[in-house]
Structure formats: C-alpha cells, structure tokens
Amino acid sequence: MSMTPFRVPVVPTLKKETFMSLYRKGTRLDERDLFTPRKVEIETGVIDKAEGSALVKLGNTKVLAGVKIEVGTPFRDTPNQGVLTVHAEFVPLASPVFEPGPPDENAIELARVVDRSLREVGVVDLESLVIREGEKVWIVWVDLYVIDHDGNLFDASMLAAMAALKTARLPDYEEYETGEIEVLRDKSQGPLKLNHTVVTVTTAKVGEYIIVDPTLDEETISDSRMVVAVDEQGRIVGLQKVGEAGYTREEVEKVLNISLGAAKVYFKSLEEALARKG
C-alpha cells in the first residue's frame, strides 16, 4: 500500500522562501542556473568482479551500478532474446531516512523507470544474448546501489546504469556434451552489444518554477517532479511524474523542452567519461 510520506524533514521547508527568492533571480543556493545539472563525475570499471560497473557522482549524490551477466532460461514468449533485469537498493548507509529491509516503493519505482527507459527503445540488444534458442540465454542484471543521497537518484542511477552497460563485457562460455554451460569469466567474447544511449532528466516543480536536477533539499520543498528519458536521437523513450502535485498542460510542454535541452549535458558527460576510458 502506498502512503503519503510522513517523515518529511522540517529544515528544508523552512528554507523554501530562500530557495524561491533565488529562483526569482534565476539562480540557486549552489549558484547554478535553473536548467543546469550539477557536476557529473563518472568512473567506470570500479568493481573488477562485475562484468561492467560505474560510480556516478552527481553533485553529492553517489550511485554505484554493477552489471552481472549469468546464464539462464529465456521467457517463454521471447525464446530468441536474452533477459535484462534492473534492481535498485537504497542501502541504509546512504541516508538517515533509508532503513534496512526489502526495497520500498521509491526503490521499486526507480528500478522500474530505469528498466523501462532501457527496455522500450532497446538499449541492450537482447537478440545478441542467445546461446541456444528457447533454452539458454544470457541474463543481464543491472544492480543500482544508491550510496549517498543528495537528491535526483533517477538521473544519477540512469547514468550509472548506462556507463556500466557501455563498459560491460560478455563472458565466454564452454558447452559440455551434456548440454551444460560453464561461464568462463576470465575470458570475454567482447563488449555487450548496445543499440542506443539513454539518459533521464529530472526536473522539479517549485511553485511556478521548473528546475533541473534538484538537490535533496530542493526535492523536499518541491511540489512534484518529472523524469523524462531521452535517447541519442532526442526521442522521448520514457516518462514518469513523481510526487504529490499536478502539472498544467503548459508546464508539461515546458518540462519537455527543458529536459530535451538538459539531456545534452548528460550525454556529453557520458561521452567524455567513456572516451577517457578508451
């Protein structure tokens, strides 16, 4: 059952007037303008044992993504496709408001929004992941580990998932006469085949203002948020309204325009990080 959040921090609410007066001047507490994301740092290959990994810092928010690739059986209705699964954990060390336990509705929503943004446009080429049609396929697990929460977990998680997938390598395998398959993790068949690149842009609505990449304080004082997933061709490949308020039609249009613009900043950060990696 979903419940109105009842443990809302009080301090940011008191800061709301300060935030609003800055927005009126077109600036923010950290001196950004309304439409620029925080500084993005992406480090890939941070976990040797994972087939792909990335640590993304978006301001003070940190998300670690790990890609593990295992052999499994395909879904009955897609015998000629591998499987992609996204999970998110809000680990308790990341924030005083995260509690140990199974993923709550926020973690589930985050994982499902990232999953759909990757899936709907076909980021991972699932057809290249078949070992024996209808029997054995590669299962790609993307695990998102939120380790420091300072707002906008969606964009940080999407960047981490994308960077980890882009640097992931498909393990080699050996097939025995019995039909069994052994994964040879120290050998690789090459990079995981991807067809597209996707980023999400989260904006928060605070009164009449729309701001890109809210910090945790800004999220707390915001009325609502919108997460827009954009691919490298500028198409919208997913969208989710998150939060307790509504949007006018005009605000929706404004959000789409702002998001398509801000997506370019994230694409550039991704590109630079991956180019550095060589």
Q: Pull the structure tokens for residue 191.
A: 């990079």
Q: How far is the CB of 4 from other proteins (least distance, A)?
A: 4
**Cα–Cα distance, 138 to 115 (Å, whole number):** 17
- Residue 124 forms beta bridges with which residues? 194
| Min CB(276)–other proteins separation in Å | 30
Residue 134 contacts other proteins per CB under 8 A: no
Binding part of the chain for other proteins, among 50-58, 155-163, 164-172, 247-255 by CB under 8 A, reads: 247-255
| Rounded Cα distance, 181 and 177, in Å | 9
Find the helix or strand (DSSP H, E) in which 112 lies.
helix 105-119
178 is a contact residue toward other proteins (CB under 8 A): no
Q: With binding defined as CB under 8 A, does residue 126 bind other proteins?
A: no
| Contact mark string toward other proteins, 250..269, x via CB under 8 A | --xx--xx--x---------
Strands 136-148, 61-72: pairing kind? antiparallel
Rg, C-alpha atoms of the chain: 20
- Residue of 97, 181, 236, 265 that binds other proteins (CB under 8 A): 236
Q: Is 29 in the site for other proteins (CB under 8 A)?
A: no
Helices 153-166 and 249-277, packing angle to 10 deg: 40
Which residues of the shown chain bind other proteins in the complex (CB under 8 A)? 1-4, 6, 105-106, 108-109, 111-112, 116, 120-121, 224, 226, 231, 235-249, 252-253, 256-257, 260
